[in-house]
Amino acid sequence: MKIAILSDFHLGYERFREDAYRQAEEALTRAAGLADAMIIPGDIFDNRMPRPDVIAEAINLFRNISGERWGADVSDFIGKGKNYCRAPIIAIPGTHERRAQDAADPVDILGLAGLVVDVSNATAVLRKGDEKVAVRGIGGIADDRFREVVSKENPVPVNGAFNIFMFHESLYELLPFNQEFMHIAELPSGFDLYVNGHIHNKVEMKVHGKKLLIPGSTVLTQLKEGEQEPKGFYIFDTITGRHEFVGIRSRRFVLSKIGISQLDNENVADAVRKEIERAIGNENDMPIVRIVIDGKIPKGHNADIEINDLSRRYKDRAIIDVSKSGITDGAILERQNMQQVSFDRISVRDYGLGIFLEKVRQAGISTGGVGPAELLDLLGSETNREKAVKKALDRLAGT
């Protein structure tokens, strides 16, 4: 069976909204033409509460491919929830779609509409002729709870099938700055293929001697170095055990660093301008150009004004993003603190969650079995503050 592995579409991502849609559309359409079945390890949406027009975008995309003639059928669904989808399009929610326990997330909507098979906590069995492929999913949850959930759910392979374990989580081997992240050796064993989302550049590794494939996102979001490579998806062949990466047309991205030695009082804006020119080159493709000034901009210099002026000047040729982490004023110091925790590769939400958890610990509140992500969701679920606090306290009290 040929399985397409696509991830992290981030539909509704404000900054590159059209790119998110167009690139997801190309990936889905091409994958549907190449594969017998499709699996999506999370972050279809950028937001756990997407606006109706973003939900409409997703429905359009999935409706278009669910009518295709697929090589495989969904022959069985084992576990929590119910399946309403006939097409072999298997998905889980990611961290961006994560909501409190039992609250419907946007992937639930797609599942209820019969557009995807939602295996947040279930196994879908696919069949093509005599061949069976089982996909066991665990939807994206807070990193510090993943271990606990894996040990509680104890995912096991299905006899007589090629078994895939699909999740959406940070892994310590890829993000070695937080011991709470799952180590690959702790992933459940016995599966023939492991598929993860969450990481936005493509990764191929081994878990328990088997392949772990992370296709990366279909759209640029974090503007990190690893995102300069082409976007796309994997096609994995369960018979040969081989996989290939299929590139899609994605917006070009160039990241360029200017070191401290290149800067003095006069030439900050000049250095930035030269880098922008070099990055754009002779192409006429409206790339995203990110310039990271990796040094201290001299005091009293009007670099901000000049750099803003440059962004305006190039607005018809590129999308310019200038990062000035070298400037040392109060607001920037805060940003440097964030960078010290390798802010680069975690989401703003996860960073916020860390701060929240620290405050909860400082206040001496025992959270019992309630995860910090769930608490944070509960507190954010009501516009009325008292109601939100009451809801959270009720949950802590176990009512």
Residues that bind Mn ion (CB under 5 A): 8, 43
Q: CB of 242: closest distance to Mn ion in angstroms? A: 26
Q: CB of 181: closest distance to Mn ion in angstroms? A: 16
The answer to whether 218 and 231 are in contact (CB under 8 A) is yes
Nearer to Mn ion, 36 or 43 (CB): 43
Nearer to Mn ion, 2 or 98 (CB): 98
Nearer to Mn ion, 83 or 218 (CB): 218
Q: CB of 40: closest distance to Mn ion in angstroms? A: 12
The answer to whether 356 and 376 are in contact (CB under 8 A) is yes
Q: CB of 128: closest distance to Mn ion in angstroms? A: 30
Secondary structure (3-state) at 240: coil
User: Which of 156, 155, 158, 111 is CA-nearest to residue 131?
Assistant: 158
Nearer to Mn ion, 43 or 143 (CB): 43
- The closest residue (CB) to Mn ion is 43
Q: CB of 217: closest distance to Mn ion in angstroms? A: 6
The answer to whether 236 and 3 are in contact (CB under 8 A) is yes
Nearer to Mn ion, 8 or 275 (CB): 8
Nearer to Mn ion, 8 or 143 (CB): 8
What DSSP character marks residue 231? P
Q: CB of 198: closest distance to Mn ion in angstroms? A: 6
Residue 196's contacts (CB-CB under 8 Å, 6 or more residues apart) are 41, 166, 167, 168, 169, 171, 203, 212, 213, 214
Q: CB of 158: closest distance to Mn ion in angstroms? A: 28
Nearer to Mn ion, 219 or 327 (CB): 219
Helices (H), the chain: 17-34, 52-66, 106-112, 143-153, 268-280, 303-313, 330-340, 348-362, 372-379, 385-396
Paired strand residues for 11: 45
Paired strand residues for 212: 194, 205
User: Which of 296, 177, 290 is CA-nearest to residue 224?
Assistant: 290
Q: Residue 213 is inside which H or E element, if any?
A: strand 210-214
